[in-house]
Structure 1
């Protein structure tokens, strides 16, 4: 029998692409557990889902899995959205009877604007009936500095005789588009190449510009060449 949660409280977590999304979701889950109330996760993008690059698709997939694991009430993806963010937040807040909203203070995302007075005032006017939690998070540049890889860049993997190599301009031949994360401190193209296939994220290792495990590409596509 499904547990009945209290309905006088309801939490909405707003996430945007970056390394802090999971932390915000888990923070919202912790608060929702303490209050024994429904939890909703919202992300907004002006592009349609089928136009997302590999990195964005990866975040969506990761957050979807996390929401299932935490038994979140609903993960809401508002893609192809033309309205201002505050309008979307207001719509969801009214639709779901939200009483508390959690957003992150992130240097790279649009949500950082919420920490600035002008946008916050607009948001408070749009959603005056909720409590806001502004969660301080590390700036992405700080996280990257302590990480293993540089910021991801768009790249392509194409067949080169019996191997696959990575290039950074769209080739005329058939190729796989994705995001390349270069290892910090190397002069060579060493790192990880991530790409989306059938709504799933995959990754292959790159060493000196070439894929080290081409069998993975073969198994994904079911053929010997892309």
Structure 2
């Protein structure tokens, strides 16, 4: 029998691209678990989904995976959105009967605007029935994007006994993912991230070659990709 959650409380987590999205989702899940209430995740973008670059697509994929893992009520993607963010937040809040909203303060996120007086005042007027949690998240010095360039779409293909990374869609069988190149190197050194069976995986790349091919073998169970 499915567990019935209380409906007098409902939490909305607003995420935008950057390092803090997963932290905010987990913070929201922790609070929703304590309150035994529904949890919703919202992200807003002015561009349509099919126009997202590899980095944005990677975040969407990870948040979708995390939403399934944590069994959130719904992961809401408002793409191709022309309305102001606060209007969208208000619309979703009313539609889902939201009582608490979690947003993050991040140097890399448009949601940081919520911490500024004018925007916050507008949002409070739009959603007077909800409590707001403004979460200040400190960026660790060892996070990926401190030492890696912006992610780009890439492919791993088999090359004799090795696996190499290429940046144009190959005709041969390949693994599609996102490559984060290390800063300050002229070689293709970095991390390649890809999804398999709704889980994110990563392998190290050194001078264009996968350094831990056993992970590829263990996932696919064969020597060929």
TM-score range for the pair, normalised by the shorter chain length = 0.7 to 0.9
Give distance in 2, aligned partners of 1:202 and 1:108. Answer: 24
1:30 counterpart residue number: 30
Residue 73 of structure 2 is aligned to residue 77 of structure 1: no
- Classify 1:48/1:202 alpha carbon distance in 2 versus 1 (closer, same or farther; 3 Å): farther
Give distance in 1, aligned partners of 2:68 and 2:80. Answer: 24
Q: Equivalent residue of 1:77, what SS? A: strand
Give distance in 2, aligned partners of 1:99 and 1:16. Answer: 20
Give distance in 2, aligned partners of 1:153 and 1:38. Answer: 33
Residue 11 of structure 2 is aligned to residue 8 of structure 1: no
Contact 2:58 2:178 in 1 (8 A): no
The Cα shift of 1:204 comes to: 5.6
Instruction: Tell me the TM-score normalized by structure 2.
Output: 0.77
Residue 185 of structure 2 is aligned to residue 183 of structure 1: no
Alignment of 1:49-128 (within 5 A): 49-128=49-128
Residue 131 of structure 2 is aligned to residue 131 of structure 1: yes
Deviations 1:72-119 (CA, angstroms, capped at 9, x unpaired): 111111111111100100000000111110000011111010011111
Deviations 1:128-152 (CA, angstroms, capped at 9, x unpaired): 111100001024xxx3x42464232
Alignment length (residue pairs):
216
Structure 1 residue runs of 4+, over 6 Å off? Answer: 161-167, 199-202
Equivalent residue for 2:150, pick from 130, 152, 155: 152
Instruction: Tell me the TM-score normalized by structure 1.
Output: 0.76
Residue 17 of structure 2 is aligned to residue 21 of structure 1: no
Please provide the CA RMSD for this pair: 3.4
- Classify 1:7/1:177 alpha carbon distance in 2 versus 1 (closer, same or farther; 3 Å): closer
Deviations 1:12-32 (CA, angstroms, capped at 9, x unpaired): 010111111111111111111
Give distance in 1, aligned partners of 2:135 and 2:23. Answer: 10
- Classify 1:136/1:46 alpha carbon distance in 2 versus 1 (closer, same or farther; 3 Å): same
Q: Which moved more, 1:71-80 or 1:199-208?
A: 199-208
- Classify 1:97/1:4 alpha carbon distance in 2 versus 1 (closer, same or farther; 3 Å): same
Q: Equivalent residue of 2:67, what SS? A: helix
The Cα shift of 1:192 comes to: 2.1
Contact 1:154 1:177 in 2 (8 A): no
1:208 counterpart residue number: 207
Give distance in 2, aligned partners of 1:43 and 1:26. Answer: 15
